[in-house]
Structure 1
Amino acid sequence: MSRFQNSDIFVLNLHELYNQLVSDPRRIKNITRITADIKFDDMDAPMKLHTLVDGEALRKVPQKEVEERIKSEISNISLKPGTELYKTHVSYSYIDTTAIADFDFGNVLIEANIPYCLHIPNFHEMTVKIPEENTEVLVTFQKIWTDRAKTADGESQNIDLYADDREIYFKKSTILGPRIPFSPGEGWESFITGINIEKMDDSHGLFRYTKLYIQLNVGLPENVDSLKEKERDHLLNSIHDKSLLIVNRIIDNYRSITNEIHVRRLGTLKINLIYFRKQRLGYYITNLNVKTAMINRSKNELKQISSLLSLGKKPELYKLLLFNTKNSLNSKDYTLAIVESFQALEIFIENFLISELEKKGNDKKQTKVILDKSWRTKERLNVLMKQLKGKGLNEKKELWSRWCNRYDKTRNGVIHAGKDPTEKETVETLTVNEKIIEWILSL
């Protein structure tokens, strides 16, 4: 540690302030950034690390003590996440062979949780057909109250009546909280408990969520109980993917009938167990998806964010749409991903052409006439790009062919014929559309 300096500050992260559970708003106006040159063993040159402190308090602390404190903190950081845990599983079997005898629809039983409360009676069953997969399954629904849905005075009720033509609600409910002043350790939301309550538009199963029992028939190898690790993982993953397809089909239809728009498709499914009935072998699945926590983003990124905000700028719309396409892909909403991807591309092309036409001296009226005349995307990519930048996309034959295939088959199939794209088609579409944008930016 060779150098300490004061400089302008972009963020606030004071150790003393962070470690106090304070409720009153506080601002430290005299903030000082300490910068240290640090060389890690696997680095060729030193890197700079920064920390923010109260300038007034810093003047009262001896230099040696400051250095020792920073050395102590540096000894507890890493340049890479140390641990990433995704999922694990433990095998089990029932001693009592009749324990799940009533689950006799298929050869595999899956128990899964979803982060929504579907207002469907407990133990109600629905048959779900997936024609494109030649699959038919039986699904049993159960609503589960969490520990947040009870107080010292009692628990939420399991009344489960339903009417022919309207929703019905609990007559009495109790809401306790939030405690004021707020306690930061209770999380970012106001901490509430209660009886017979649910959070509006809840997408995290705060007070109540739905458990599903899915019974389906799956082609299984004879030696399920002696599969090697990779073969077993492949089998369990394939069952997860099939179960997720089923659950998203349930969600789509539930949402379309109830208009509960917060109930959206899932990108992954929280499966508790998978049980093979004939083999009397089950697996408890633990979905962790946790990693060693990040401390802070880089100073360079903070500068960029601060600059954009101070200048009143916002990201270009096409970039935000490209982020949305990845979210839609992750949640298996392939149709939406396709629509957003082409929307992002067409908005980018339009804005790029407007900018280039104005550089050539065209006013807004002239620019509009030119764009209205060449409104087809293919014509814009070839004719207008050739006129304005000297190159058309059709000169890059491999990229042009890939893009036309996705445009003619995938896009038109989705938008004009309502076809469901596959994951492979969606990934290829998103990839090739981003490559088109990269090509235009390179001109």
Structure 2
Amino acid sequence: MKSWTAPPVPSLPGRGVIPRLFDTSSQTLVEATPTDGIASVYVCGITPYDATHIGHAATYLTYDLLQRVWRDAGVETRYAQNITDVDDPLLERATATGADWRDLAAEQISLFRTDMAALGVIPPEYFIGVTESINRIALGVADLLSAGLAYRVPTHGSEGDIYFDTDAAGRKTPWQVGSTTPYEFVQLAEFSRERGGDPDRAGKRNPLDPLLWRTQRDNEPSWESPVGAGRPGWHIECTVIAVDALGSNITVQGGGSDLIFPHHDFSAGHAIALHHKPLARIFNHAGLVAYEGEKMSKSRGNLVFVSALRSAGIDPAIIRLAIAAHHYRTAWEWTDATLTSAADRWATWRASFVDQPSPQKEGAMSSLEVLAQVRKALAHDLNTPVALATIDQAAHTGVDDPALLEAAILSLLGISLVPAAAATRLAVSAESAV
């Protein structure tokens, strides 16, 4: 599956620092050093309906920022992202709207690409749909059956759905259910029920056992496979796609904090069961975004869409700056004031570093020193609020090299100080001149 066009990322003088990130599994800051010379990150992609809302954007901008910090430190990166282009919520939305689920997915994936490109997100080298990976996922399920780590639950008129045996995995592998999470065991069934699991299903060996393969049902898409006709479960999809793209022991597994359990925990368990190696060294999660007092979610319908903001004339750089004002791990609420504050900050930065950069004056800051401070902030768990405050101070006092600050803001934060419409005109003019 194609991704989108890469944004410009200017080179900067000197070199940045390998970042330290918060690891959810150990609850500590860990240096995100490259694995076998390459810093790799896998981020769970969208289920393509109701794309792209601010909650999505906040997650993907977090791991875009991580890539930028790694690259500034001279590190080669690899990025993979899946698209869950067949799943119950997508099918339910298609049925409710009278759309073909494939058409709905294609439309929403196209919109997601457009939004990511507008926001200046570095595209993944591997952008992979579940429907492109059905056979590989089924082979993984077959391997788990053969290893005695999966079992069938009888389903009327079929061979049965296939579930991961968490108790067997706990005996045969280093992984235990909940081992990558900060949660108490009693919370896990509640999270499973809320987040796509079926702990109350009869016939399961353990209520937490997750679905690996859903056998064919009437009026549902299905594929022939080594484990029978059907379609994959959620966690095994990401496991197979991630390892196929990036190998085992990925540097960072990322996503929203609502994926900590069950999704990321079971993905980690599947990976160890299949390959006898950890899925990732660092499990890192972004905080959730609220709107009108509630977590922004598709089920509540309280969504703020990137495309709607762009259609209203909001420059994508302002959207990006509004998100960057909050540390990625904090939960926060989107408001009109959030956007207004970001627009004011963007205008101040433009005035200081682009439109009418003042000549060097007494008390002006060294642009190289400002760059060093921004790098230091971002290396400490991607601390964008400190980085932004540093640039605010530089805008107030003036700097000796405004062009360097403009380049640093674009390279490290992905925020262009050239309005998007003007940038488009410049790109078209350059293309016409060739």
Which is strand-richer, 1 or 2? 1
TM-score scaled by length of structure 1? 0.23
Task: Mark the structure with the bigger radius of gyration.
Answer: 1
Which is helix-richer, 1 or 2? 2
